[in-house]
């Protein structure tokens, strides 16, 4: 979903998804799906983790990530548990990631193609991970 943006430095800007580490996937689904009315749009399960993507209602999403063995205060999101990262939508990911790089921020994942999208990550000033997400 492409939306108009009033931000000239982040063309097509908006939230694509917020990723949340979940330690109890069923309890998380009860909240996000049953209580808050979010619709499941995609589920991916691998031996390493399961991901459930839920539409918030405006085309932006919450991504529930369950990792076997993860526990509050530890696991894959150490430091900012339970928040994994914030994903910002853009229509020109490569230009924006270069803008961030030139401002001195650490690029943690260079632009790469994944499932009909291009993604890249960088570390924010508080060590938070921020993802740029561009769909085709």
Q: What is the pTM for the complete model shown?
A: 0.72
Reported as a single tens digit per residue, the pLDDT across 95-116 is: 999 999 999 999 999 999 998 9
Q: Evaluate if residue 41 carries a pLDDT over 70.
A: yes
Contacts of residues 26-34 at CB distance under 8 Å and 24 or more positions apart, as own/partner, are 28/52, 28/64, 28/66, 29/64, 32/62, 32/64
pLDDT bracket for residue 4 (50, 70, 90): low
pLDDT bracket for residue 6 (50, 70, 90): confident
In whole angstroms, what is the distance from residue 19 CA to residue 84 CA? Answer: 5
DSSP symbols for the chain: -----S-TTSTT-EEEEEEEE-S-HHHHHIIIIIIT-PEEEEEEE-SS-EEEEEE-SSS-EEEEEE-TT--TT-GGGTTSTTEEEEEEE-S-HHHHHHHHHHTTPPEEEEEEEETTEEEEEEE-TTS-EEEEEEE-
In whole angstroms, what is the distance from residue 66 CA to residue 98 CA? Answer: 32
Spell out the domains of the chain, with CATH numbers in brackets: 15-68 (3.10.180.10)
Q: Evaluate if residue 78 carries a pLDDT over 50.
A: no
pLDDT bracket for residue 77 (50, 70, 90): very low
């Amino acid at each position: 979903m492409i939306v108009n943006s009033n931000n000239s430095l982040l063309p097509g800007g908006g939230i694509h998804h917020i990723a949340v580490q979940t330690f109890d996937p069923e309890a998380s689904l009860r909240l996000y799906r049953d209580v808050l009315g979010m619709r499941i749009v995609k589920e991916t399960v691998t031996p390493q983790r399961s991901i459930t993507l839920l539409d918030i209602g405006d085309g932006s999403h919450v991504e529930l990530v369950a990792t076997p063995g993860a526990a509050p205060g530890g696991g894959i999101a150490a430091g900012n548990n339970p928040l994994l990262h914030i994903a910002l939508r853009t229509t020109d990911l490569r230009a924006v990631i270069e803008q961030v790089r030139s401002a001195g921020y650490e690029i943690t994942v260079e632009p790469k193609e994944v499932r009909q999208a291009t993604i890249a990550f960088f570390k924010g000033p508080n060590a938070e991970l921020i993802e740029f997400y561009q769909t085709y």
